[in-house]
Amino acid sequence: MPDFRVVVIGAGLGGLALAQGLRQAGVEVAVYERDAALTSRRQGYRLHLDSEAHDCLLRLLPSHLGKLFLATAGMPDPRFVLLDEQLNQVMSQHSGQTTDFAVDRLVLRQILLSGIEDAVVFGKQFRGYETGSDGRVTAHFADGSQTGGDVLVAADGVNSVVRKQYLPHARVVDTGVRQIYGTIPLTQHTRALFDDTMFGIFTAVAGRERTFLGIAPVEFPEPPQDAAARLAPGTRLPPTSDYMTCSFGARREWFGDNLSTMSGPDLHEIMSEGVRGWHARVREIVAHCDPATMFAFPLRTSVPISPWPATPITLVGDAIHAMSPAAGAGACTALRDADRLTSALTAVKTGAHNLVDAIRDYESDMTDHGFTMVRTAAANGQRFLGQDPLPGQPS
């Protein structure tokens, strides 16, 4: 298919990674993102990537950007640790991976955008699509413009507009848990607040009333801007330094008020109140969480669905299998999707595979893996975070 074109809705991790992979394979790709820029919304800080996600990224990125990713990815101790509110160890579990990585979300997104800026259009709000008699798909935008392609990929996240039209029966539900996120700069003083057990992939401190505090490090092998200047001079990375993520979560009934409208200082006050009576070091950790970095949102999850007939429309990442963070697998699964879909669409471009058959094979693998991780994350979240059971699963 010499004029094969892929239209991607959404410039999150999955959408940008897919675009990088397709660009490397010589497939024409265009990405449309509703936000005005990568930095328009706070979407989180640290991401956990496992060995498979690492391998996917190195296949999808050109060599110099793969090296930049490695130069900006920390390698925490491969353990998940659970402590009680007085910092007594309750559980310690090895991740089971050969290597785990802790990366900054914005740094990774900037790396994924590098070199494909000409293929990404910001400020384009997707409204819907239609499929023509020739099988091509036309995407329509809020400003009245439209674009066509042989494939339309939903990479527009948990609130996917594409999914709502294409798979209206696919549900995303509230888990019943709310979480406040912030960061603590790792200085000589603040590092002393964290012992060695807290520098693993993730450390959870469980309190009463199903409250919990989560902490996890982001430590750069070298400053991201220095790494970019050395390895990819055209890539602009944010001026960030080592930090510890700090999150506080509880059931929605515990919070009561609408967290989404609260200021950073108000959220910091809630977090501080939540750990009152906990170990003095926990209270000190929370005291150092920067209110300017704090935001809150509800934890949501997709509900697995049965397979659907393959068409030139498909999905990646949270657009189809959003999950609780309790498995640390959301970003990993999105990158896995991008890698598998890149291979499938490259085979179509070269004539080695029929389009619908290629998408069917991709979706079979994607849903098997993605929905398995949704169920795993839901079970972990029910056990450790107090979230609601996944609909249709044992309570």
pLDDT tens digits, one per residue of 47-68: 999 999 999 999 999 999 999 9
Domains of the chain: which residue ranges?
5-384
Q: Which of 268, 217, 265, 264 is nearest to 241 (CA)?
A: 217
Cβ within 8 Å of residue 142, ≥6 positions away: 124, 125, 126, 127
Q: Which CATH class is domain 5-384?
A: alpha beta
For residue 88, what pLDDT is reported?
96
Distance CA 326, CA 300 (A): 11
Record the pTM. Answer: 0.96
E strands, the chain, are: 5-9, 28-33, 46-49, 77-84, 89-94, 101-104, 120-122, 126-131, 137-141, 146-149, 151-154, 172-185, 200-206, 212-218, 243-251, 295-302, 313-315
For residue 184, what pLDDT is reported?
98
27 in Cβ contact with 4 (< 8 Å): yes
What distance, in Å, lies between the first and last C-alpha atoms of the chain? 49
List, for the chain, all residue ranges whose pLDDT scores fall below the cut of 70.
1-2, 393-395
For residue 97, what pLDDT is reported?
83
pLDDT in tens, 78-111: 999 999 999 999 999 998 888 899 999 999 999 9
E strands, 295-389, are: 295-302, 313-315
Distance CA 370, CA 382 (A): 18
3-state helix/strand/coil string of 191-207: HCCCCHHHHEEEEEEEC
For residue 99, what pLDDT is reported?
87
